[in-house]
Amino acid sequence: MKSKRNPKKQIAVLGLTVAGMFGFAYALVPLYEIFCEITGFGGGTFEQAVIASDVKSGYIVSDGGNREVTVQFLADIGRGLPWEFRPTEKQMRVKVGEVHETRYYARNFANHSVTGQAVPSVTPAFGATSLQKVECFCFTEQTLDAGEEVVMPVLFYVDEDLRADVGTLTLSYSFFPVESAEVGVMNHATANMEHL
Amino acid sequence: MIAHADNIPSGRHPLVKFILRWLLTTNHKEIGTLYLSFSFLLFFIGGAFALTFRAELAQPGLQFMGADFYNQMVTLHGLVMVFGAVMPAFVGLANYMIPLQIGASDMALPRLNNFSFWIMPFAFGLLLSSLFMPGGAPDFGWTLYAPLSTTYGPPSTDFLILGGQLMGISSILGAINIIVTIFNLRAPGMTLMKMPMFVWTWLITAFLLIMAMPVLAGVVTMMLTDRHFGTSFFEASGGGDPLIFQHVFWFFGHPEVYIMILPGFGIASQIIPTFARKPLFGYASMVYATAAIAGLSFVVWGHHMFATGMPLATELWFMYATMLIAVPTGVKVFNWVATMWDGSMTFETPMLFALGFVVMFTIGGFSGLMLAVAPVDFQYHDTFFVVAHIHYVLYPGAIFATMAAVYYWIPKWTGNMYDERLGKIHFWTAVVALNLTFFPMHFVGLGGMPRRIADYALPFTGLNTFATAGAFLLGVTQVLFLYIIIKTVRGGPKATDQVWEGAEGLEWTLPSPLPLHTFETPPKVD
């Protein structure tokens, strides 16, 4: 039976489906990021927690009811960054709801200045939204002159909404080189971390 | 209007005429023949790659090649077999048989059909040329995982990407052609629910192709722009995530595995009723089961990624959705068995291959169920158990189905019967060889032997030597198959029009061998 439908229209619809699926492959990238943002999947923690100005270690954000968790610190270097980068302490016990400070050490052993950007990640992934950073070198790009060494503070607290069965959070930073011709100009530029 | 073989201008050199005939043909039977021959050639090339790395795996240690070349062989074997052997073979059968089975004179878009085919040699020319390039061929596995394929891929990866895009265009155009043909060119009286199962499974496969291949084209394009144009889809330092590659790839990849098996379901559903001399049991449920499998194939991709640290809820979803696929697949296997129940069965070669398909594909289905169980998948992940599973669904699945189809329809195509004795020898050697090759892989996989590594621990030696012996025997059976085909094309006992006593369907009402043009006036179906 000859179909009453128009073959040209069918071909157009099928062609549009192909174009739509090609676009969908690209749409999966932002969709995945939205998924990660909602679930914390991937462990990305990109936002700066705003609680009060001039917060110091020991500031009580909320009452965590004496609950304590362990926070571990990791550091990694991305490909092509001639730096040494490590946490100054491997782990610490922290009171939930209280601001704590730790430090990361970095040294540029190249003979020229190099700019890097640190990307944070928290494991387990669903703990990512509970580990709030108040101050962090990862919020901006960092430029180190030849041979320069720095100690960079991280101010953070563990939110009381952390799931009860989690006793340990691991905070990891990967430092990636920033490919920029204008390293000096980029020094104080505030990187918008949200697109990460 | 259409450059048929019989209106190429006369008076040219016979060789020129021969080349022009095959280059310009728009006849579905000739294009089907081209597809089938091309896929058979690539089947041998992909098989040669497999034998190369199986030779290396015969003994522990490195005897014949370094790990680099081993990885290149594994990668090209996968890509060539999936995209160059299995898919074009099914497209070739579709081109040849769908117009005959629905009573159409040709495909709806014959020139597009010619174009779809002739893209393929260029696509695989690009891919295979990478073997001869500095830095070697792609070496990251057929799954092309980033960042192995982006940051660390050899320069020849770009040839793979462009070849992959061409191949995708070819498949998409072919699929559009098949859908439009089936929707518009069915003989009067052939409603959708009267179509032969091979046509039905191909209609659904074509929709899978339309939905999945553009996603593959998208992901390889992202690879290309990540490699050369400064994007960071899969580059963590630029804000991307390598895991996105796996999500996008497997969103294509899982429908892809059903693209490689659904036409095989259709072929088995044609052959088993013929040799059981009974109509197919549960025709409507077969159609719905195929559609259900196709629909589910788009929501289960995460079962390839259980070990990437997915949230528990996601793992549960992918686990249950994957196991759900066993239900429609079980319906199909049940229907095939019920078709044979109480039938007057005979066991000619096509039937043997179809039965081999049902039995051994089911084994592959069971190992698939094991892999679907998220908690235990962590043990099986990236081991030879996975290799055993994919080869049990693809070899007795896609390849046995294709061979069954060739034995089933070749008397119709050529007018000659194949050599039944050789066909049976082919089947039984292939069964022994493929089980010898792939069954031990279950055990070494469960024992912890990782896939895609050129060397292995000493305790795996015995089973690997068996597998290598099986692989070479399997290679020999392909040469026998080639010999049988050539022998049948050249001559043999004449086939009747109906060929098989129990065969039903429009294609068997045509003369054997088939004339170049058939059903120029549509038949009437009641």
Q: Could you please report the per-residue DSSP string of B275-329?
A: HHTSPPTTHHHHHHHHHHHHHHTTS-GGGG-GGGT--HHHHHHHHHHHHHTHHHH
Q: Which of B256, B213, B16, B8 is nearest to B119 (CA)?
A: B213
Active site residues of B: 77, 106, 142, 170-171, 254, 256, 258, 269, 303-304, 329, 332, 451
* Tokens coding B121: 């040699």
List of chain A residues whose C-beta atoms are within 8 Å of the C-beta of residue B144: none
Contacts of A126 in chain B (CB under 8 A): 311
Decide if A95 is inside a domain: yes
- Tell whether A73 and A34 lie within a shared domain: no
Residues A33 and A86 in one domain: no
Say which of A3, A14, A119 has its CB closest to residue B210. A14
Task: Tell me if A25 sits within 8 A of B248, measured CB to CB.
Answer: yes
CA distance to A93, A94, A127, A130, per residue, from A71 (Å): 6, 7, 11, 12
Distance CA B128, CA B42 (A): 10
d(C-alpha A103, C-alpha B124), whole Å: 54
CB-based contact B239 A22, cutoff 8 Å: no
- Of A153-167, B53-67, B197-211, B314-328, the poorest mean pLDDT is in A153-167
B183 vs A10, A22, A78: nearest CB: A10
Q: What is the ipTM of this complex?
A: 0.81
Q: What pLDDT, on a 0 to 100 scale, did the predictor assign at position B418?
A: 96
**A96 and A25: one domain?**
no
Structural domain span for residue A98: 68-195
CB contacts of B247 in chain A (<8 Å) are 28, 32
What pLDDT is recorded for position A184? 37
Predicted pLDDT of residue A195:
36
Q: How near does any CA of chain A get to the CA of B250, in Å? A: 11
> Picking from A37-51, B275-289, B434-448, which range would have the lowest pLDDT averaged per residue?
A37-51
Q: Is residue A113 part of a domain?
A: yes
In a domain, A63, yes or no: no
Residues A144, A73, single domain; the answer is yes
Nearest Cβ partner for B214 among A7, A21, A42: A21
Residue with the bigger pLDDT between B255 and A49: it is B255
pLDDT over 50 at B3, yes or no: no
Instruction: Give the pLDDT confidence score for residue A182 in this predicted structure.
Output: 41
Instruction: Say how many domains are in chain A.
Output: 2
Phi, psi at A96, each rounded to 5°: -65, 130
Provide the pLDDT for residue B410.
96
Tell me what percent of the residues of chain B surpass a pLDDT of 70.
98
Residues in B touching A125 (Cβ below 8 Å)? 309, 311
Chain B residues within 8 angstroms (CB to CB) of chain A = 108-109, 151, 172, 175-176, 179-180, 183-184, 186-191, 210-215, 217-219, 222, 233, 236-241, 243-244, 247-248, 251-252, 309-311, 314
Query: What are the structure tokens assigned to B394, written together?
Result: 């693809």
Q: Average of pLDDT values for B497-508?
A: 92
Choosing among B237, B308, B318, B525, which should be mutated to test the A contact, i.e. which has the most A CBs within 10 A? B237
Give the residue on A whose Cα is nearest the Cα of B189: A1
Domain with CATH 1.20.210.10 in chain B: 25-260, 269-512
pLDDT at B340 over 60: yes
pLDDT of A67:
87
Give pLDDT, residue A41: 66
Q: Are residues A91 and A184 in the same domain?
A: yes
CB contact under 8 A, A7 and B219: no
Q: Which of B180, B214, B251 lies nearest to residue A11, judging by beta carbons? A: B180
Residue of B210, B216, B359 lying closest to B294 (CA atoms): B210
Chain A residues with a Cβ under 8 Å from any Cβ in chain B: 1-3, 5, 7, 10-11, 14-15, 17-26, 28-29, 32, 36, 39, 41-42, 78-79, 117, 119, 125-126, 174, 176-177, 195-196
Q: Which residue of B has its CA nearest to A6?
A: B184
What DSSP string describes A123-138?
A: ESGGGTTTEEEEE-GG
Is B516 within 8 Å of B29 (Cβ atoms)? yes
Residues A33 and A129 in one domain: no
In a domain, A22, yes or no: yes
- Mean pLDDT, contiguous 10-residue spans, chain A (196 residues): 70 92 88 76 63 72 82 89 92 90 92 88 80 84 90 89 87 83 37 36
On the question of pLDDT at B237 being above 80, the answer is no
Interchain CB distance below 8 Å, A25 and B244: no
Q: Tell whether A125 and A30 lie within a shared domain.
A: no
Q: Say if residues A23 and B209 touch (Cβ distance below 8 Å).
A: no
- Look at B217 and A22 and tell me if their CB atoms are within 8 Å: yes
Which residues of chain A are within 8 Å of residue B244 when distances are taken between CB atoms?
A: 28-29, 32
Pair (A114, A19) in one structural domain = no
CA dist A35 → A24, A30, A170, B362 (Å)? 15, 9, 21, 36
Show residues of chain A in contact with B173, CB under 8 Å.
none
Of residues A14, A22, A78, nearest to B176 (C-beta): A14
- Domain co-membership, A109 together with A33: no
Which residues in chain A have their CB less than 8 angstroms from residue B179's CB?
Answer: 10, 14
CB B38, CB B434: distance < 8 Å: no
Phi, psi of B12, rounded to the nearest 5 degrees = -100, 170
Q: For residue B90, what pLDDT band results from cuts at 50, 70 and 90?
A: very high
> Could you give the CA distance from residue B497 to residue B510 in angstroms, rounded to a whole number?
6
Condensed to tens digits (0 to 9), the pLDDT of residues B378-393 reads: 999 999 999 999 999 9
Q: Token digits for B117?
A: 């085919």
pLDDT at residue B326 is higher than 90: yes
- Residue B125: strand pairing partners: none
Q: What is the mean pLDDT of chain B?
A: 94
How close does chain B come to A59, measured CA to CA in Å?
Answer: 32
Q: Which helix (H) or strand (E) holds A173?
A: strand A168-177
Residue A98 belongs to domain with CATH number: 2.60.370.10
Cβ-defined contact of A3 to B190 (cutoff 8 Å): no
- A174 belongs to a structural domain: yes
What's the average model confidence in pLDDT over B11-18? 85
Report yes or no on A47 lying in a domain.
no
Query: Is B180's CB within 8 Å of A10's CB?
Result: yes
pLDDT at A161: 85
Structure tokens at A74: 């990791």
Contact B291, B340 (CB under 8 A): no
What is the C-alpha separation between B492 and B498, in angstroms, rounded? Answer: 16
Cβ distance of B108 and A7 shorter than 8 Å: yes
Cβ contact B122:B166 at 8 Å: yes
Average pLDDT over residues B467-489: 96
pLDDT at position A189 is: 34
For residue B302, the model assigns a pLDDT of 93
Same domain flag for A186 and A132: yes
User: Is residue A3 domain-shared with residue A93, that is, in the same domain?
Assistant: no
Cβ contact B211–A17 (<8 Å): yes
pLDDT in tens, A161-186: 888 888 899 998 988 888 754 433 33
Residue A157 lies in a domain: yes
Class of B269-512 in CATH: mainly alpha
Q: pLDDT at residue B8 above 80?
A: no
Beta bridge partners of A105: A86, A151
Q: Is residue A125 part of a domain?
A: yes
Same domain (yes/no): A30, A88? no
Cβ-nearest to A32 among B179, B247, B252: B247
List, for residues B178-234, the tens digit of each pLDDT value: 999 999 999 999 999 999 999 999 999 999 999 999 999 999 999 999 999 988 899
Chain A nearest CA to B336, separation (Å): 29
Report chain B residues whose CB lies below 8 A from the CB of A25: 214-215, 217-219, 222, 248, 251-252
Contacts of A10 in chain B (CB under 8 A): 179-180, 183-184
Write down the CATH number for the domain with range B25-260.
1.20.210.10
CA distance B172 to chain A (A): 8
